[in-house]
Amino acid sequence: MEHEFYMHRCLELALKGSGNVSPNPMVGCVIVHEDQIIGEGYHQKIGEAHAEVNAIKNVIETYGNQAAHLLKNATAYVTLEPCAHFGKTPPCADLLIKHQIKKVVIGNTDPFESVNGKGIEKLKNAGIEVVSGILDEECKIVNRRFFTRIKEHRPYFILKWAQTADGFSAPADQSQQWISGAEAKTLTHHWRSEEDAILVGKNTVLADNPQLNTREVTGKNPIRLVIDKNLETPLHYHIFNDAAKTIIFNEVKTEVIDNIHYVQMEDMHFYLPQKIAYQLYLMDIQSVIIEGGANILSQFIAANLWDEARIFTSKTEWKQGIEAPTINAKLIEDIVVGNDSLQILKR
């Protein structure tokens, strides 16, 4: 129970890095001496110090000359196995060894090939006691995007749509018409700030001229991904502004013009979800929200290339329109958001 208590705190810290560390994992670290937390840290930004580095720095800054003695008799709790390789930063396992940490308690082992047990082995070889598997499932949930990218060589895909009470997701004439309420919109923008990218099809862009940003909340804008086979979207539409990088998958050209990246693909009517998934993996894009339209969502469902679905259902009935996608999945959560219901499903 003691290990779980401190690991819960590590998870709280790890989540503070949400939206800023991809394609790295979110990691939190707590250093404990005689049942007292003496240092905390988390991975704050890609390319910058890891959680263990920040936690040890916190101890040194707080305790000064006493820090070395305290660390020698301390336990470090960390949500993910300390790295054992040189990447953008030096190995965290070496840092823990340098400060002669007494014990290291780990949530998940790291599936990344350059780590995967090597960090634990290095710590044990240095005489440090290692305990692993503490809140293993909770830690995996926090880093589900990272684990999907490493193990399946593709991004973590989140499907999102709104539907009427009678099961329609868009008007038959593809005109713009809101289904969910203001609270759902704000929550959607918060979700966008947590993910690397947002994907829509050409028909959604033409119908809604969406901004695909996070204007309702404070947070970074995701990379905009647009499927536009023949490049039919007018250049004055919002997706071409400088608010975020935009990648347009098409069959016409590969070209970069400022923040607009055209990526040419062959035969987009064959295996499109698979092609996009692999291309995004090569681009180090770790997570994607797919927001429409119904055809694109249905293609990813049919290809079994999705991990999570978030579906808003309003009380409105249209009687006709474009039918919302259908999906068979495990219901994780069913909550009320404003006047709408929200179901969160897992594949």
Please state, in angstroms and rounded to a whole number, the distance separating the CA atoms of residues 100 and 123.
10
User: What is the pLDDT at residue 112?
Assistant: 79
**165 labeled binding residue:** no
Mean predicted confidence (pLDDT) in 312-316: 96
**192 labeled binding residue:** yes
318-337 tens-digit pLDDT: 999 999 999 999 999 999 99
Q: So which residues are the catalytic ones?
A: 52
Give domain limits for the chain: 1-148, 154-346
Query: Quick check: 22 pLDDT over 70?
Result: yes
274-299 tens-digit pLDDT: 999 999 999 999 999 999 889 999 99
Mean predicted confidence (pLDDT) in 69-89: 89
Which residue from 186, 206, 183, 215 is spatially nearest to 336, judged by alpha carbons?
Answer: 183
Please state, in angstroms and rounded to a whole number, the distance separating the CA atoms of residues 337 and 182.
9
Three-class DSSP category at 92: helix
Three-class DSSP category at 313: strand
Which residue from 307, 19, 5 is spatially nearest to 140, judged by alpha carbons?
Answer: 307
Under the banding of pLDDT at 50, 70 and 90, the label for residue 174 is: confident
The reply to whether 154-346 shares the fold of 1-148 is: no
**212 labeled binding residue:** yes
Distance of CA 296 to the CA centre of its chain: 20
| Alpha helix (H) residue ranges in 18-132 | 51-63, 67-72, 92-98, 118-125
Token pair, residue 197, equals: 């990218």
81-133 tens-digit pLDDT: 998 866 666 789 999 999 999 999 999 998 877 677 889 999 999 999 999 99
The CATH code for residues 1-148 is 3.40.140.10
- φ/ψ (deg, to 5) at 300: -70, -35
User: What is the pLDDT at residue 88?
Assistant: 66
User: What is the pLDDT at residue 304?
Assistant: 96
pTM (two decimals):
0.93
**204 labeled binding residue:** yes
Please state, in angstroms and rounded to a whole number, the distance separating the CA atoms of residues 243 and 222.
10
- Domain at 154-346, CATH homologous superfamily: Dihydrofolate Reductase, subunit A (3.40.430.10)
Arithmetic mean of pLDDT over the chain: 95
Q: From the CB of residue 330, how many other CB atoms can be counted at a distance below 10 Å?
A: 8
Mean predicted confidence (pLDDT) in 251-267: 98
Q: Could you give the percent of the chain with pLDDT greater than 70?
A: 98
